[in-house]
Every structure is written in C-alpha cells, then in structure tokens.
C-alpha cells in the first residue's frame, strides 16, 4: 500500500463493537466530565464535549494495539513504543458539541524531560543523558467509532494533512481511523443525537 496520511479499517464485526460499547458504557459512562485541552484548560469555544479515561490495562487497549501495529506496518513504518499517557479517552459529543481544528503532536505525556540538577566534576549525569535522548513524541493518533451513524447527525471527523488533502473519516460503526499526529483535524458540531468514540495517541522516539 502506498503511504497515506490517514488509514482506515472498517470491518470490525458488529458483535465485537457491541461488546466494546457495552463494557465502556457500564464501566465509564458515569465518569464523564467536560473535556479539557492539553494542559488541563477548559475552553468550550475550542472543545465542547465530555470524556473520561480508559487505562491501557483495559482489554480494549490491547485489542486496539493490534490495529495500531497493522496500520503502522502497512502504511506509516514509524518507530512506535506504546500508547501515550497509559490511557485512552472515551469521548461523547451531544447536540451542539464539537472540537475545533487542532493536532495532537507534541511531547508524550509521560516522557517529558525533568530537571536533574547540575552535572558534577565535568562528567555527564546519567539522568541528563536519558532525558535528552529518550524524549517521546506523539506519532500516531487513533479513533474508533462506537455510535451507529443513524443515531446522530453532524459530528463528522474531518482531517487536513500537510499536502492539503481533505478527508472525512467513515461514519461506519466500528471504523478505526489512524493518522499522523501532526495532521490537523476536527470534530464538526453534532446537530442531533449523540456520538461516542475512543481516541488515543501512540508515541515513539522524537523525530530526527
């Protein structure tokens, strides 16, 4: 397959999607809160939705990791390590809610360097060396559509890559979308009903 900025998989069996949605609804729906921007800022002019966090110890993370690896092998060929932040977002968009243009690129949540003080005796501090050479960045973003497209109107996921190619992600329930985290994207306003999804980010060594 030739390189593409966006990779889709649309053939998840309905019964698998049913199990995922039922499990997340029963476990996480009552934990939903207003979504925040990177840095924990609340700005409903930029992002208006609800979300909560799914730990990567949850079985869904392992299930989705298979598709991350497949997409990377078939299309991106990036050096990847793990899901960022040891968690994924379970998101909900209701009538009138949206997420404006943004990208997911940046230092990975759990791998940002920390200050370790001065180096002594002219020798390089081991922790300094690790921090300077092991920073991780978000390289791939992924999403899985949990809602039936007939259950809501609006709410399309729109992507715009550096070449100016414009994509609308398939609305099919169970569709998995993976894309370069530097890609600009947004969730258009939901005009009726509720749209639910899982989103997450995959990290690897910083670009060279």
Read off the pLDDT of each residue in 57-84 and give the average, rounded to a whole number.
Answer: 93
How confident is the model at residue 25, as a pLDDT? 93
Query: What is the total residue count of the chain?
Result: 208
Beta pairing, strands 190-205 & 87-94: antiparallel
Q: Which pLDDT band, with edges at 50, 70 and 90, does 51 fall under?
A: very high
How confident is the model at residue 109, as a pLDDT? 67
Q: Per residue in 72-88, pLDDT tens?
A: 999 999 999 999 877 89
Q: Per residue in 152-197, pLDDT tens?
A: 999 999 999 778 888 899 999 999 999 999 899 999 999 999 999 9
Per-domain residue ranges for the chain?
Answer: 6-112+124-205
d(CA 137, CA 135): 7
How confident is the model at residue 105, as a pLDDT? 86
CATH architecture of residue range(s) 6-112+124-205:
Sandwich (2.60)
Alpha helices (H) in 119-199, listed in sequence order = 126-133
Per DSSP, the three-state class of 67 is: helix
Tokens of 152: 């809501």
Q: Per residue in 88-137, pLDDT tens?
A: 999 999 999 999 999 998 777 655 544 444 444 444 454 454 455 558 89
**Per-residue pLDDT for 204 more than 90?**
yes
Whole-structure pTM value: 0.83
How confident is the model at residue 81, as a pLDDT? 92
Burial of 145: CB neighbours in 10 Å, binned 0-12, 13-18, 19+: buried
d(CA 161, CA 203): 19
**Per-residue pLDDT for 43 more than 50?**
yes
């Amino acid at each position: 397959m030739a390189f593409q900025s966006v990779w889709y998989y649309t053939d998840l069996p309905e019964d698998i999607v049913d199990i995922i949605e039922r499990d997340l609804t029963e476990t996480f729906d009552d934990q939903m809160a207003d979504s925040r921007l990177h840095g924990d800022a609340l700005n409903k002019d930029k992002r208006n939705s609800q979300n909560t966090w799914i730990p990567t110890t949850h079985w869904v993370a392992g299930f989705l990791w298979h598709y991350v690896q497949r997409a990377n092998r078939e299309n991106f060929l990036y050096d990847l390590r793990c899901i960022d932040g040891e968690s994924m977002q379970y998101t909900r968009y209701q009538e009138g809610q949206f997420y404006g243009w943004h990208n997911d690129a940046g230092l990975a949540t759990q791998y940002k360097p920390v200050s370790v003080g001065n180096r002594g005796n002219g020798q390089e501090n081991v922790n300094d060396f690790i921090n300077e050479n092991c920073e991780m960045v978000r390289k791939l973003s992924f999403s899985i559509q949990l809602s039936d497209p007939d259950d809501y109107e609006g709410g399309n996921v729109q992507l715009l890559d550096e070449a100016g190619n414009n994509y609308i992600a398939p609305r099919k329930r169970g569709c998995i979308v993976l894309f370069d985290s530097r890609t600009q994207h947004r969730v258009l306003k939901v005009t009726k009903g509720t749209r639910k999804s899982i989103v997450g980010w995959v990290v690897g060594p910083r670009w060279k």
